[in-house]
Structure 1
Amino acid sequence: MKPLIYEQPLNEKVRSYLRLEYLAQQLAQAIASDQQHNGFYPLFSLCEMTDRCDFRSEVLKDLDRQILVLNKWQDLPHADTQQINLLINRLNQAKGPLQQPERIGVALKQDKFISALRQKFSMLGACCNFDLPQLHCWLAKSWSDRQQDLTTWLTHYHPLLEPICLLLELSRSTAEFVPATAHAGFYQQDCTQVLSLVRVKLTADSECYPIISGHRNRFAIHFVDFQQQKHSDKSIQFFLATCSANH
């Protein structure tokens, strides 16, 4: 049985990155198989997030920061220069589309079909045919045509989503999971390095889940018994990975 991984961001930027990554994953699933109208929910959440904040400048800074770090790694003994160069090339390629003057997703706003759906999707039961007859007309199209539409709409956000997913991939790769024990369901750790992300891995039959809180140098984990929905007083064996903000 596949283990469960829980993640807790320790700053607002990583919190936003994780949400955008999650929406990208939801949309990828909607494109991979016919989920009727469910793909619109993550699409409109993505529209909303990028309307509120233009993430480009922050992502570009993070890409440059990563390239600088990787260039320094090349000088280390036993460094895998081939792998490092591959990562540097991926980061540089991710920068290009972000440097375009047009705001991410602005072209999708001009799509009349998408605009009409987005205005009403926040309503309860808004997918009724009397509210959105155009949606029911679209759902009558073949899956291959709808799949192509979803792919096209998501393409508007690739310049932002692809570098964010790459940055999170690199962040996770810098910290390996190590065994840890939460005595009486509680674990706490202080760190000298600045952290950006705490990851907890549990077996699927653990029957508990972690509540993680903290900030850049310190975090705590409370394990909650799922059945009783209260703090567990048992010793919990788990695996922990702490990702540095300065990787």
Structure 2
Amino acid sequence: MIHYEYPLSERIRTLLRLEDLFDRFDAYAASPDPHAHHAALLTLFEMAEVAARADLKSDLLQELDRQKAVLAALRGNPHVQGATLEQVLAAIEAAHQGMYQLPGKVGQHLREDDWLMAIKQRAAIPGGMCEFDLPSYHYWLHQAADVRVRQLQQWLAPFSSIRSAVGIVLGLLRDSGQPELQHAKNGTYQRMLESRNPQLIRVTLVDELPCVPEMSANKYMLNIRFVHAGPGAMRTCADVSVDFDLTFCTL
């Protein structure tokens, strides 16, 4: 199965972008190849740019506070597993404390490193990171893989509390909805949202189906057009009946 997600607010869009960047960094850093570590460093720069939104920290802190209050009220509920609830509350508290103690903007430690900022500046130029442009960076890429990995993890470490908070909020958001089996005739699907007011819409398809969903939505209406996957013209899958799971998620 493949999950496709469509955020309906800028805040959720930012969290999804950060989640993707964290996962991408892990994949690059796990490889011993210097080119992969180069990609990991560029991903760190992207991460810092996305996380530097002025209201990101305050948004996450407020959401964690709200979720903590909602979940704490479930203590003693016979339909809730107490041990699991306490684990989630402890994770929320740890992420909240870590973010609260984080000084300045997220990613500020990267901006204060002149060596890293010189690399970032050259990275904006097509082909601008050759060895004759950045000999010091060329030297770093020729260090032992474990040396580079250790340095990459040090640069990532100040993002850990943000990463935990993003994971908690998105996890609770995704768990809030129940999938409903739907059918798209002639490759299109429309639905009135009525009073649902979702923050995230998820479409789940079997991975053998050569179609992908293009979604658009507002507070009143959801439109999904399934188009053929792969290169070439974007054609609607009008010759295919598409069965899919649709999930509305709201915190």
* CA apart distance, 1:175: 1.9
* CA apart distance, 1:243: 0.6
1:38 aligns with 2:39: yes
Asked whether the 8 Å contact 1:74–1:80 carries over to 2, the reply is no
1:17 to 5, 15, 32: 15
* CA apart distance, 1:65: 1.1
Q: Distance in 2 between matches of 1:121 and 1:52?
A: 21
| Secondary structure, counterpart of 2:224 in structure 1 | strand
* CA apart distance, 1:218: 3.5
Asked whether the 8 Å contact 1:6–1:201 carries over to 2, the reply is yes
What is the TM-score normalised by the length of structure 1? 0.91
Q: Distance in 2 between matches of 1:208 and 1:62?
A: 35
Asked whether the 8 Å contact 1:193–1:217 carries over to 2, the reply is no
Asked whether the 8 Å contact 1:108–1:156 carries over to 2, the reply is no
Structure 1 stretch 186-195 or stretch 121-130: which is displaced more?
186-195
1:211 aligns with 2:214: yes
Map 1:206-245 → 2, pairs under 5 A: 206-216=209-219, 218-226=221-229, 228-233=233-238, 234-244=240-250
* CA apart distance, 1:74: 3.3
* CA apart distance, 1:111: 1.8
Q: Distance in 2 between matches of 1:91 and 1:189?
A: 35
| Secondary structure, counterpart of 1:157 in structure 2 | helix
Q: Distance in 1 between matches of 2:207 and 2:162?
A: 33
With over 3 angstroms needed to count, the CA separation of the structure-2 counterparts of 1:179 and 1:102, relative to structure 1, is: same
- Aligned residues: percent identity? 29
Aligned equivalent of 1:200: 203
2:25 to 20, 24, 27: 27
| 1:4-29, Cα deviation, whole Å (9 max, x unpaired) | 21111011100011011111111111
* Structure 1 gaps, min length 5: none
* CA apart distance, 1:190: 2.7
Map 1:63-142 → 2, pairs under 5 A: 63-74=64-75, 76-100=77-101, 102-103=103-104, 104-142=106-144
How many residues are treated as equivalent by the alignment? 243
* CA apart distance, 1:138: 0.5
| 1:203 partner amino acid | V
* Structure 2 gaps, min length 5: none
| 1:118 partner amino acid | K
| Structure 1 consecutive aligned stretches of length 4 or more whose deviation exceeds 4 Å | none
Q: Distance in 2 between matches of 1:204 and 1:31?
A: 27
With over 3 angstroms needed to count, the CA separation of the structure-2 counterparts of 1:30 and 1:159, relative to structure 1, is: same
Q: Distance in 2 between matches of 1:156 and 1:101?
A: 8
| 1:65 partner amino acid | R
Asked whether the 8 Å contact 1:182–1:235 carries over to 2, the reply is yes
| Secondary structure, counterpart of 1:149 in structure 2 | helix
With over 3 angstroms needed to count, the CA separation of the structure-2 counterparts of 1:54 and 1:144, relative to structure 1, is: farther
* CA apart distance, 1:101: 5.6
* RMSD, aligned CA: 1.7
Asked whether the 8 Å contact 2:131–2:138 carries over to 1, the reply is yes
| 1:39-79, Cα deviation, whole Å (9 max, x unpaired) | 12211111222334341100001101111221233364422
